[in-house]
Amino acid sequence: MHYQHIVIGAGSMGMAAGYFLANQGKEVLMLDAFNPPHEQGSHHGGTRLIRYAYGEGVEYVPFAIRASELWQTLQAETPREIFKQTGVLNVGRSDGVFVRNVCESAKTFELPLAVLTAAEVNEKWPGLTLPADLLGCFEPTSGILLVEECIAAYREAALKAGAELRLNSRVIRINPQQGNEPVTIETADGAVFTADAVIVSVGAWAGELLQQLDLKLPVTPIRKTFAWYEATNDLYDEQSFPGFAFDLGDSAYYGFPSVAGAGLKLGRHDGGLPINPDEPKQAFGTVKGDEEELTEFLRRFMPQVGALKEGKTCMYTMTPDEDFVIDLHPTYRNIAIAAGFSGHGFKFASAVGEIVSDLVTRGETTLDISPFSLDRFQ
């Protein structure tokens, strides 16, 4: 069974890539080890932030802006709600790299941003109690992506455009050839496919699978946790409270208002334990710090949030510098790689899908992806 393009891993990035290829009239097959959207990877949990004035680095801003444009395009094509404009409050110390990057991003790209003292933040959002040494940088145009809805919308649109999706089909072998000859792909259930070009976007399994392509990608899957808390009054609902990201120097947290009464959602961004993605993850609350770290954060900054409702686990796939890997294979130029999204990739999934579809059809893309090159690990 031969296709022009095969996408290995139809999660957030891969499903978007399949959509863009199918919309170009390409013969495309998407293979996934599970049934996306699902809870075995990094895209579950209901919500992700989308921010434009980017604390992780100014080089991400054009990427975030393009991703937003593409999410808006998808929203216009689907009856599903995929975005809520709640605004996002970025919090940190005025002399910290995170806040400096947020302010520099907003200035360079003329993004709307309100820089607020702690007292101004506390007055605007009575559910917060920031100490005087922190600043708040509020982005009113940013907000929340509803992740399962995003992936379901891309899945429906890709299939409507003619893409094929094969579920519960884990790829166990990739056999490329020199000179851009077709790539052979084998799955665990014994199926064999060939393709003119391939996209590999398999999340936590990237390091293992890419070794077959003579790439030792330094990515580490880690266990992460997040939880929802009782927030029954209007202090923390989606009409009154923004998404948020806190950089405290020695720790980083993120969270969401109570969406549709689900409760305030909170997670710690840094830290985590290395894991084997094929082994069951320890449930929330079974590892010391799972609940204690979140409870301490709420005690300090959001003391009016109520009791724990539910906690879950997920995975980050970390690179050493916490930047992404988006590139063509250095030898097999008909294989594109999207990996190592390090816990802040979902907001970019729409743009990543467009980029890797460009790479396998044109060999280049319009956005600057040089910061995400494989060369930096050589």
Which of the following is catalytic: 5, 26, 43, 47? Answer: 47
Residues 232 and 367 grouped into a single domain: no
Catalytic: 269?
yes
- Domain containing 81 equals 1-86+145-218+320-378
Indicate the DSSP class of residue 227: E
Catalytic: 48?
yes
Average pLDDT over residues 303-324: 97
pLDDT at 378 over 80: no
Cβ atoms of 84 and 72 closer than 8 Å:
no
Residues 168 and 80 grouped into a single domain: yes
Residues 251 and 313 grouped into a single domain: yes
Residue 59 CB-density burial (10 A; 0-12 exposed, 13-18 middle, 19+ buried): middle
Residues 160 and 308 grouped into a single domain: no
Q: From 269, 292, 318, give the residue that closes a domain.
A: 318
Residues 313 and 330 grouped into a single domain: no
| Residue 342 to residue 89: CA distance in whole angstroms | 21
| Residue 351 to residue 69: CA distance in whole angstroms | 9
pLDDT at 203 over 90: yes
Indicate the DSSP class of residue 133: T
**Distance, CA of 154 to chain centre:** 15
CATH of the domain at 227: 3.30.9.10
Number of domains making up the chain = 2
Predicted local distance difference test score (pLDDT) of residue 266: 98
Indicate the DSSP class of residue 237: B
Residues 208 and 151 grouped into a single domain: yes
Which of the following is catalytic: 5, 26, 43, 48? Answer: 48
Average pLDDT over residues 302-322: 97
Catalytic: 347?
yes
pLDDT at 180 over 90: no
What is the tens place of the pLDDT at every residue in 47-56?
999 999 999 9
Catalytic: 265?
yes
Predicted local distance difference test score (pLDDT) of residue 179: 84
Task: Quote the longest CA-to-CA distance of the chain.
Answer: 63
CA dihedral sign of residues 131, 137, 139, 142: negative
Phi-psi region of 19 (alpha: psi -120 to 50; beta: other; left: phi over 0): alpha
Q: From 285, 318, 351, give the residue that closes a domain.
A: 318
Which of the following is catalytic: 312, 314, 317, 329? Answer: 314
Query: What is the gyration radius of the CA atoms in the chain, in angstroms?
Result: 21
Q: What share of the chain has pLDDT > 70, as a percent?
A: 100
Which of the following is catalytic: 155, 223, 265, 329? Answer: 265
Q: CA dist 357 to 21, 49, 106, 253, Å?
A: 6, 24, 29, 33
Residues 58 and 100 grouped into a single domain: no
What is the tens place of the pLDDT at every residue in 25-44?
999 999 999 999 999 989 99
Which residue(s) pair with 222 in the sheet? 274, 316
| Residue 29 to residue 167: CA distance in whole angstroms | 11
Cβ atoms of 186 and 172 closer than 8 Å:
yes
pLDDT at 315 over 90: yes
Average pLDDT over residues 345-359: 98
Which of the following is catalytic: 44, 80, 124, 376? Answer: 44
Q: What is the pTM of this model?
A: 0.97
Indicate the DSSP class of residue 214: T
| Residue 44 to residue 54: CA distance in whole angstroms | 23
Residues 325 and 178 grouped into a single domain: yes
For the chain, how many residues are written? 378
What is the tens place of the pLDDT at every residue in 231-272?
978 899 999 999 999 999 999 999 999 999 999 999 999 999
Q: From 296, 318, 340, give the residue that closes a domain.
A: 318
| Residue 143 to residue 154: CA distance in whole angstroms | 19
Which of the following is catalytic: 269, 312, 329, 344? Answer: 269
Predicted local distance difference test score (pLDDT) of residue 232: 79
Residues 47 and 98 grouped into a single domain: no
Catalytic: 314?
yes
What is the tens place of the pLDDT at every residue in 13-30?
999 999 999 999 999 999
Residues 52 and 115 grouped into a single domain: no
Question: Mean pLDDT across the chain, nearest whole number?
Answer: 97
What is the tens place of the pLDDT at every residue in 127-176?
999 999 999 999 999 999 999 999 999 999 999 999 999 999 999 999 99
